[in-house]
Amino acid sequence: MLVILLWLSIMSSIVQFASWYYLLQKGDPGKTSAFLFLAPFFGVLSGWALLDETLSFSIVVGGLFIISGI
């Protein structure tokens, strides 16, 4: 349980926000912030690839809407 908590606090928070602020400083904020909307898409994609979750039709359509919106 402690390992999971450390992983979530270090990798998901600290590394993610440090990378985010670095990219905001180096790149165009408008283009960089558009990639924030890809987080749910990659969450579903990694759940499918790593945890063998099933992809329903509505999830696939939602992912296509996200990608087409960006």
Give residue 28's pLDDT: 84
Q: Per the confidence metrics, is the pTM higher than 0.75?
A: no
State how many domains the chain has.
Answer: 1
Residue 51 structural domain: 2-69
pLDDT tens digit sequence for 21-65: 888 888 888 878 777 777 777 778 888 888 888 888 988 888 788
Give residue 57's pLDDT: 92
CB 40 within 8 A of CB 69: no
pLDDT of residue 16 exceeding 80, the answer is: no
Q: How far is CA 38 from CA 4, 5, 6, 32, 44, in A?
A: 24, 24, 24, 11, 10
